Amino acid sequence: MTVEEQSRPSMRTGAIVKSQFDIAADLVGLEPYMRRLLRSPFRSVAVEVPVRMDDGRIEVYRGYRIQHNGARGPCKGGIRFHAEADEDEVLGLATTMTWKTALVDIPFGGAKGGVQVDPRQLSKRELEAVTRTFTNRIAIVLGPYRDIPAPDMGTDQQVMAWLLDEYSKRSGYSPAVVTGKPISLGGSLGREEATGQGLRYCMEAYARDFDLPIEDSRVVIQGFGNVGAHLARLLHDAGARVVAVSDIDGGLHNDGGLDVPRLFEHAYAQRKPVPEFPGGDRITNDEIWRVACDWLIPAALGGVINEDGNAKALDCKVIVEAANSPTTPIADKILTERNITVLPDFLMNSGGVIVSYFEWVQNLQQQPWSLDKVNEELHRKITAAYRMVRDLVNKEHVTWRTAAYAIALTRVAEAEQLRGH
Ligand code: NAD
C-alpha cells in the first residue's frame, strides 16, 4: 500500500504509525529482518472481560495488552478505556511508546492496553469491576520489571489505584507495577501536569532557537483535557495569547486572548463544556482550524490534521503535536511543502512518560522527590532529546519527525542487536 492509499482522512492511529515507520525504516536503511521485528509486537494478549452490571446482566468486553518492544527495558504504556480501542489502535499506540521511550532515553520499551468500553456509560462500581477483571486477566504479563501500565484516555488515578490493589493481591505490595497513581499510593508530584509541562519546555526551547517568542504569540488548542488544559494554563502564564480552544462540545474564540485561569476552572476543574464559558465567541470544531495563530496545538484525537481540507487551509507557523498521531502522512507532506514546521508527538508529549519513569524510580527507591526536582529532571531529559532532534534536523535537512524517528529507531535496533537478534 502506498503512503497515499494509507493516508485517508479517516486514517486511524495504527495506520498512521505503520506508515511513518516504513518511511523512517527506509531512511535509516533498516535490514528486512529488523523491520519485521520492529513492525510487529513482541507479545499481544487479547482477553474477554466479563462484568456483572448493576441491573444483574453480564456484559462481556474485549481487552488487549500489547507489548510492542522491550529491548531497552520493561514495557511501558497506558491503558485506554474507549469504544474504539481495538487491536489495531492499541498496537499503533504501543509502537509509538517504543519510539518515545527510546527518543527521550529512558530505560523502558513500549506497550499499550485497551478495553473496548465507553466508561461514561458505566457506574463507578461497574468501572471498578471492569478494571479488576481486566487486571486479573493480563496480570501474568505485568510486573515492575516486565510491563508497567499508566492512565490514558478514559482511565485515571482511581483506575490505577484499583489496578495496583488487584495486582498486589497476587504479588504482594507492588507500587512500581503502575504509574499515574494517586500521591497517597506512591504517585509522583508533578505527574498530572507533566505532559503539558514537557510540551511547554520544548516550545520554549524552540521559541529561543527559531526566534518565535512565546510571549504575545497566538495559540490555538484543540482539546481541553489533561494535556490541553494544563498546557493552556502554562502558556498563558508564560505570556502567550490563547485565542481559541475546543473540546468535544465545540470551540471558543477570543482574538484578544481567552481568560485561561477562569476557563481552566470552568472546563477542566468543573468539567463543564468549553463553549458554555462566557468569555468568547462560539465556533464549531471545524472553524477552529481556520483561526490564525503562531502555534497550533492538536491535543485531542488522532488523524485530525489531514489532506481532506484543513492541511491546506491551516494558518499557523508551527504545529505542536500534543495528541498522539494527529497528522496523517499526506498532511505531513503538504505541511512540509507549505513550510509549516510539525513538532512530532513522540518528542513533544513525552513529558508524561518521563515523569512516569521518575515515579517508578521513586517507588523502587522508596524515596519521594520534591516537585522542584521532578520538574528540573523533566526539563533536563526532554530538552536533551529536543536538542538531539534539532541538531539532526539542522545537519541533515530532514523534518523533525524524520529526525526523531532516526534517533529512536537506531537506539531500539542497536539494543535488539546487542541482545543477539
Ligand atoms: P482527555 O480525555 O483528558 O482530554 C481529551 C480532550 O479532547 C477533552 O477536552 C475532549 O472533550 C476533547 N475532544 C474529544 N473529541 C474532540 C473533538 N472531536 N474535537 C475537539 N475536542 C475533542 O485526554 P488527554 O489525556 O488530555 O489526552 C489527549 C491526547 O494526548 C490523546 O491523544 C492522548 O493519547 C495524548 N497524550 C496524553 C498524555 C497524558 O499524559 N494525558 C500523554 C501523551 C499523549
Question: For 113-159, how does the pLDDT look when each residue is reduced to its tens digit (9 = 90+)?
Answer: 999 999 999 999 999 999 999 999 999 999 999 999 999 989 999 99
Cβ-based neighbour number of residue 330 at 10 Å:
21
CA-to-CA separations, 328 to 30, 89, 227, 317, 322, in angstroms, rounded: 23, 14, 21, 18, 14
| Best CA proximity match to 221, nearest among 83, 326, 352, 353 | 326
Closest C-alpha residue for ligand 1 atom 4: 225
Residues with CB under 6 A from ligand 1: 152-153, 195, 222-228, 246-248, 285, 299-301, 322-324, 349, 352
Closest C-alpha residue for ligand 1 atom 30: 323
Q: What is the CATH number of the domain that holds 109?
A: 3.40.50.10860
Q: Give the Cα separation of 14 and 64 in Å (integer).
A: 14
199 and 119, same domain (yes or no): no
- C-alpha cell belonging to residue 13: 492511529
Q: Which residues fall within 8 angstroms of residue 243, CB to CB, at 6 or more apart?
A: 218, 219, 220, 253, 254, 255, 256, 257, 258, 291, 293
User: 226 alpha carbon to ligand 1 midpoint, in Å?
Assistant: 7
202 and 157, same domain (yes or no): no
Q: From the candidates 76, 100, 112, 181, give the one annotated as an active-site residue.
A: 112
Per-residue pLDDT of the chain (421 residues; tens, 9 = 90+): 333 333 334 578 888 888 888 888 888 899 999 999 999 999 999 999 999 999 999 999 999 999 999 999 999 999 999 999 999 999 999 999 999 999 999 999 999 999 999 999 999 999 999 999 999 999 999 999 999 999 998 999 999 999 999 999 999 999 999 999 999 999 999 999 999 999 999 999 999 999 999 999 999 999 999 999 999 999 999 999 999 999 999 999 999 999 999 999 999 999 999 999 999 999 999 999 999 999 999 999 889 999 987 999 999 999 999 999 999 999 999 999 999 999 999 999 999 999 999 999 999 999 999 999 999 999 999 999 999 999 999 999 999 999 999 999 999 999 999 999 8
Closest C-alpha residue for ligand 1 atom 31: 323
103 and 204, same domain (yes or no): no
Residue 303 forms part of a structural domain: yes
Last residue of a domain, one of 348, 379, 405: 348
Alpha-carbon dihedral angle through residues 26, 27, 30, 32, given to the nearest 10 degrees: 10
Residues belonging to the chain: 421
93 and 123, same domain (yes or no): yes
User: 223 alpha carbon to ligand 1 midpoint, in Å?
Assistant: 6
Q: Give the Cα separation of 176 and 366 in Å (integer).
A: 10
Residue 387 forms part of a structural domain: no
Residue 205 forms part of a structural domain: yes
47 and 125, same domain (yes or no): yes
| Residue 15 confidence (pLDDT) | 87
* DSSP strand pairing (241-247 vs 250-253): antiparallel
Are the beta carbons of 111 and 78 closer than 8 angstroms?
Answer: no
Residue 29 forms part of a structural domain: no
**Residue from 93, 106, 248, 284 to probe ligand 1 pocket by mutation (most atoms less than 8 Å from CB):** 248
Closest C-alpha residue for ligand 1 atom 22: 248
Last residue of a domain, one of 348, 367, 391: 348
Residue 290 forms part of a structural domain: yes
54 and 134, same domain (yes or no): yes
- C-alpha cell belonging to residue 92: 499503533
- C-alpha cell belonging to residue 320: 505542536
| Residue 393 confidence (pLDDT) | 96
Residue 4 forms part of a structural domain: no
140 and 93, same domain (yes or no): yes
Position 72: which residue type? R
- Helix or strand or coil: residue 113? strand
Domain count, the chain: 2
318 and 220, same domain (yes or no): yes
Dihedral angle sign, alpha carbons of residues 207, 27, 103, 138: positive
The pTM score is 0.95
209 and 297, same domain (yes or no): yes
Q: Is 169 a catalytic residue?
A: no
Q: What is the CATH number of the domain that holds 214?
A: 3.40.50.720
Q: Give the Cα separation of 80 and 60 in Å (integer).
A: 17
| Residue 23 confidence (pLDDT) | 85
| Residue 292 confidence (pLDDT) | 98
User: 222 alpha carbon to ligand 1 midpoint, in Å?
Assistant: 9
Residue 342 forms part of a structural domain: yes
The domain containing residue 106 runs over which residues?
41-173
**Residue from 230, 301, 355 to probe ligand 1 pocket by mutation (most atoms less than 8 Å from CB):** 301
User: 300 alpha carbon to ligand 1 midpoint, in Å?
Assistant: 4
Closest C-alpha residue for ligand 1 atom 18: 248
162 and 207, same domain (yes or no): no
Dihedral angle sign, alpha carbons of residues 49, 227, 242, 326: negative
| Best CA proximity match to 61, nearest among 104, 107, 15, 113 | 113
User: 56 alpha carbon to ligand 1 midpoint, in Å?
Assistant: 33
Residue 52 forms part of a structural domain: yes
**Residue from 96, 153, 202 to probe ligand 1 pocket by mutation (most atoms less than 8 Å from CB):** 153
Last residue of a domain, one of 113, 144, 173: 173
| Residue 26 confidence (pLDDT) | 87
140 and 208, same domain (yes or no): no
214 and 283, same domain (yes or no): yes
